Every structure is written in C-alpha cells, then in structure tokens.
Amino acid sequence: MNPTIIYFLVLIFLLFGVVFLQIKFCILSNSSMPHPKPYSFSRWQLVWWTFIIFASFISVIIASGKIPTFDNSTLILLGIGSITTIAATLIDISDNDNAANTANANATQTVVVSPPPAAPADPNAPVTAAPEAAPVVTVVNTPAPQPVLAQSINHNSFFLDILSDRYGINIHRLQAFVFNVVFGVWFIYTTVMHIKNITIASAQPAIDAVIPVITNNNLILLGMSAGIYTTLKTTENKQ
C-alpha cells in the first residue's frame, strides 16, 4: 500500500480514538465538577503532539517494517507537552484546595435548639414530678460558597474553553495555541513529503529521516509559549 495512504489512514484511526477517549473518559477536559467538563488547553496540547508524533511513528513501522529512531527534538517536544500538563494540573489542584479552605474558614455557624425528646410513659409508675429535661443544642456549620474557578467555567465551545479564563480570551493562550497548530500542521506536511518514498527496502537513516526535526530555536519558542501559559495560569484565579 502507498505509504502516504497508510499515514492518512493511521491519522484518521487515531483521530477516532481521541474522540472516543474524550467521550468515554474526558481526556481533553479539566478535572472539574461541571458537566460537561470544560476543555483544557494543557491536555489538548499534550494530546495534539502525542497524536501527531504517534501517527508518524506507527505509519513508518507499517510502511517499512522497521522502527524509526526519534530525534532529540521529538522527545523534547513531548517533554514540553508533558511538563505543561503536569504544571497546569498541580495549579488546578492548588486552586481547588485554596478555594475549599477559604470556604471552610468563612463558614457560618448556626445554633439549633430542639426540645428534649419525650420519655415514653409508664402506666405502672407512680405519679411524681418529672425532672425537667435539657433541650438539645446542635451547632450547624455552613461553608461559605466557593468562588467559580477558571478551570470550572464551561463556555460550551472547545476554542473558548482552551483560550479563555473567567475574564475572556487571553493573548498568551491564543499565542501558544497558534504556535502549536502551525508547527503541528508543518509536522504533518513534512511527514507526508518524507514518507512517500519509504519502502521495505529503505535503509535505517532514510527511515529515521521521515519524522521531522524541529530546530532548537523553534523548540525554545514552543517552550517559552508553554512557560508563559503556565506562569500566567497561576494568576487566573487570583482576586
């Protein structure tokens, strides 16, 4: 089969896999209470690059019967996505804990006084004055309502969810999104150009050259975008 056709078939198959996993397990969504859960930029970024790189990797194996060797730039690219997702998740957990602690600290106490339970009457007991029973006092703690956090806002739109915090679309999210999409489309295009000449008889260097190499400056650009997103994410739930 033509290697280019193999590549596009693998892309389509993996795309259906991502859609299934999102419907079943919400792999692109924040770990938050709303339903449906809002989409997460960091998780999208990690799935985006995993999807593209894995499609190239599987296609080369099918077309050539050999396993390609990843360039360092490919590993760094996956590392950027992984670190961004880990950092964003830790920030969300911290914000959720802080919101819960604040709500508990501002809880209101309500004292409820209930009449004492009546003792069952004994018809054979002598008639005497019953001692006065003490009322039942119950203290009810009512936590203060938690503020709506940015990761819990569902905009009912994939693009608005990943590009916005609670104040609207952010330029740093938009910048990181555009860079990732542009480099991802270039990655797919370059892979298509390289893979079309791959056969079972291809040498290992030709097979290793199918998956594109991203230059150091471009990796720095993607890393800076991810770093800016992560840094500014820490401020999204500040009052």
Mean pLDDT of 88-117: 71
In whole angstroms, give the CA distance from residue 28 to residue 150.
16
In whole angstroms, give the CA distance from residue 73 to residue 79.
10
In whole angstroms, give the CA distance from residue 7 to residue 182.
19
Q: Is 50 helix (H, G, I), strand (E, B) or coil?
A: helix
Mean pLDDT of 164-189: 91
Going along the chain, which residue ranges are E strands?
A: 108-114, 136-142, 164-165, 168-169
DSSP 140: E
pTM: 0.79
Q: Say whether pLDDT at 138 is over 80.
A: no
Task: Tell me the one-letter amino acid at 125.
Answer: A
- Candidates 190, 139, 188, 151; CA nearest to 32 is 151
**What integer best gives the mean pLDDT of the chain?**
83
In whole angstroms, give the CA distance from residue 104 to residue 121.
44
Mean pLDDT of 96-118: 65
Q: What's the Cα-to-Cα distance from 28 to each of 24, 50, 100, 160, 208, rounded to whole Å?
A: 11, 12, 24, 14, 30
Q: Say whether pLDDT at 169 is over 70.
A: yes
- Candidates 152, 173, 171; CA nearest to 162 is 173
Half-sphere exposure of 162 (CA within 13 A, CB side): 20
- Candidates 208, 207, 190, 209; CA nearest to 199 is 207
In whole angstroms, give the CA distance from residue 68 to residue 62.
11
The model's pLDDT over 3-46, given as tens digits with 9 standing for 90+, comes to 899 999 999 999 999 999 999 888 898 876 667 788 899 999 99
Contact 100, 146 (CB under 8 A): yes
Q: Is 164 helix (H, G, I), strand (E, B) or coil?
A: strand
Token couple for 160: 């608005």
Share of the chain above pLDDT 70, in %: 77
Mean pLDDT of 79-84: 94
Q: Say whether pLDDT at 142 is over 80.
A: no
